[in-house]
Chains A and B, each alone.
Chain A
C-alpha cells in the first residue's frame, strides 16, 4: 500500500435489507487533501462515513483507514481521527470549557491545547457559558473544536453546515480552510455545491449510492462545459445568452468594437448543473 494514502475505499457496497444504499464505492484520501462527497439527501453520504469510521459494517468491499481494515478497527482509531456526525451533540449542562476538557482528558491533551483551540474557533470569551445557551453557529464551532482537539490525521464531517445560516456557514468554512492549511486531511459530505466548490480539492458526485463523477470542482465544471455559452449585458440594459457559434462570435465582436458591452460572462457549468446533467436530478431535490 502507498505510504501517503490515509484512506482507501475499494468497491464498497452496503445493503440495508433489500435496499442497496451504496454501490461499488472506491476512492482514496491523501494528507492535506479535502475530499467531498456531494449528493442530495438519501444519496448514501452518512452511510459512507459510518462505514469508514467503523460505525457500520459494509456488505462487501474493503475500507482501509490509516492502514487498518475498517472491520478490524477498535476504539483506539478514534485517537487518530476526528468525527463530526450529522447530529453530534454537546453536553448542554456543562460549560464550553468543560465540554472540551472532558475530551482533552480522554485523549490526553493538555489544557494549553484546549485554550488554543478555543481561541481558534472564537469561543474564548464564552468559555464559562453553559453550552446549552450557545447559538447554533457557536454550538457547531464547539463541536468542531472538540473534533480537532487531538489533532487528528483525518477529520470526518457529515454535512457540517447543514441547517446553519449563510454567515455562520462562512465562519465554519474559514475554520475548515485553516485546518486544511495546517495539513489536516478532511473528508466531508454536503448537499451544497457552493460549499463543495469552495472547500474541496476533489469531489465525488454521489447519486443513489453510486459515484457518478469524480474530480476537482474545476475539472468537472470544465468537462461538462460542452456547449459554451456567454451571457452579455448590453448598453440598452438588454441581457442575452448566446451559444458559441460563429455568427454569435462575430456579433459579440461587433458589439465590443462598438463598445456596447456592459458586462460579459462565460456560462461555465456549476457543480449543480454538472450534477443535473449527469443524473438528471437536481441536488436540492
Chain B
C-alpha cells in the first residue's frame, strides 16, 4: 500500500514539475492560445464576410484547422519541447537518478498536455458553433482522447530523439507537416483528403466535418484501424527508442 502511494507521489511530482515548466514556457503555451484565438477569429471574420450563419463547409474548415492544430501543437510540441528543455538544462538525469522510473516519467510527462489537448478540442468544438444535434459526444470524446494520446506518445518520441529545444522543433516539424497540414489541406484537395483518412488527426477531422455538414457520423472500421494502428505504432517506436538508450543517450 505504502509503495503504491509512494509511486503515485513520484508520478505526481513529475506531473507537477512538467506543469510548472510547460506553463512557464511561453513558446509552447502559445499553441493552445493560438488555436482558440484563430478559431474565434475565423468565426468572426468569415461570419462578417457571409453576413450571419456560416455555411457548413466553412465551419468544417475552421473545425479541422483548430482540431489538427491543437492536437499537434499541444501534443507533440508541448511534450517534446518539455523533455528537450530538461535535457538542455541537465535536469532529466537528475530526475532519473532520483528514483523516478521510466514509466512514471512517461505518464507524468504527458498528463498535463494530454488533458489540455482533450479540453481544447472540446472548446474548439463548442466555439465553432456546430449544431449540437448532429454531434455525437461519445464518439467525439473517444476519438479525441485517442488522437490526443497518440500525439502525446509522438511527443515522447520527439523528446527522446531531441537533445535540445532547437532540434526538438526540427524533429517535430515533419510530424507537424504530415499530421497537422494534411487534414487541413484535405479540405482543398481530394487526394490529400484520401491520405488524411489514414492519419489519426484525419480521422478526427473527418468526424468533425460530418458534424459540420450535419450528417450522422458513423464509425468506419478503417477509422478504428487507423487510430488503433497508429497508437500501437507510436508506442512501439517509443519503446524501441527507449530500450536502446533510455530517455537520454550517454
Contacts and interface: CB of A to CB of B under 8 A. Distances in A.
Contact of B16 (A88, A102, A107): A102
B98 A103 contact: yes
A74 B97 CA distance: 10
A93 B101 CA distance: 24
5 contacts: A75-B96, A83-B97, A87-B90, A88-B90, A103-B13
Q: Which of A75, A76, A89, A105 has the most CB of B within 10 A?
A: A75
Contacts of A110: none
Contact of B99 (A55, A75, A87, A93): A75
B72 to A, nearest CB: 24
A89 B100 CA distance: 16
A28 to B, nearest CB: 22
B137 interface: no
A85 B94 CA distance: 8
B89 A105 contact: no
Contacts of B98: 78, 83, 103, 106-107
Interface stretch (B17-25, B35-43, B127-135, B210-218): B17-25
A91 B13 contact: no
Given A74-B101, A91-B20, A93-B24, A105 B9 contact: yes
Nearest to A103: B98
A37 B6 CA distance: 35
B12 interface: yes
Contacts of A89: 89-91, 94
A178 interface: no
Given A102-B17, A106-B9, A106-B10, A91 B99 contact: no
B250 interface: yes
A258 B250 CA distance: 66
Contact of B93 (A85, A91, A103, A106): A85
A102 B100 CA distance: 12
Interface in B76-104: 89-91, 93-94, 96-101
A252 interface: no
Contacts of A79: 99
Interface string A74-98: 1111110001010111111110001
A259 to B, nearest CB: 60
Given A91-B21, A98-B20, A75 B91 contact: no
A124 B6 CA distance: 28
Interface in A88-125: 88-94, 98, 102-103, 105-108
Contacts of B10: 105-106
A10 to B, nearest CB: 23
A108 B20 CA distance: 20
B99 A106 contact: yes
A55 B91 CA distance: 15
A27 interface: no
Contacts of B94: 83, 85, 88-89, 146
B101 A75 contact: yes
A75 B99 CA distance: 4
B16 to A, nearest CB: 6
Nearest to B24: A93
A127 interface: no
Q: Which of B17, B24, B89, B97 has the most CB of A within 10 A?
A: B97
